[in-house]
Amino acid sequence: GESVGLHLPTLSVQEGDNSIINCAYSNSASDYFIWYKQESGKGPQFIIDIRSNMDKRQGQRVTVLLNKTVKHLSLQIAATQPGDSAVYFCAENGSGNTGKLIFGQGTTLQVKP
């Protein structure tokens, strides 16, 4: 069946260091992937996305890497700041191009000052 999972439930990093959040997906037919950030008491906020015809995409301080061979997705945050502390979710669109997203369980990022 379809599933999206995260390797670690909590990641703790020092302010200024780079963060890497990983995600494994199981549906090889997925062709669209998104990273969301959810701060306490708020809804998930779009960070960056990537389609399967790419293996890397960069935004402001964030980079998403896609390895279709091993069905792995990662989010890299450069120079992590206290404001980056949140829960990060990866999501995939699964098969059938239905418009539905399948979300992982989330990784909590804690930034230590």
Partner 1 sequence: DAGVIQSPRHEVTEMGQEVTLRCKPISGHDYLFWYRQTMMRGLELLIYFNNNVPIDDSGMPEDRFSAKMPNASFSTLKIQPSEPRDSAVYFCASSSGQADTQYFGPGTRLTVL
Smallest separation (angstroms) from partner 1 to the CB of 103: 4
Residues lying near partner 1 in the complex (CB under 8 A) are found at 31-32, 34, 36, 42-46, 49, 89, 93, 97-101, 103-106
Measured between alpha carbons, how far is 15 from 29 in angstroms, rounded to an integer?
Answer: 37
- The amino acid present at 85, given as its one-letter code, is S
Smallest separation (angstroms) from partner 1 to the CB of 82: 22
Burial 85-112 (b: 16+ CB within 10 A, else e): bbbbbbbbbbeeeeeebbebebbbbebe
Smallest separation (angstroms) from partner 1 to the CB of 54: 14
56 or 100: CB nearest partner 1: 100
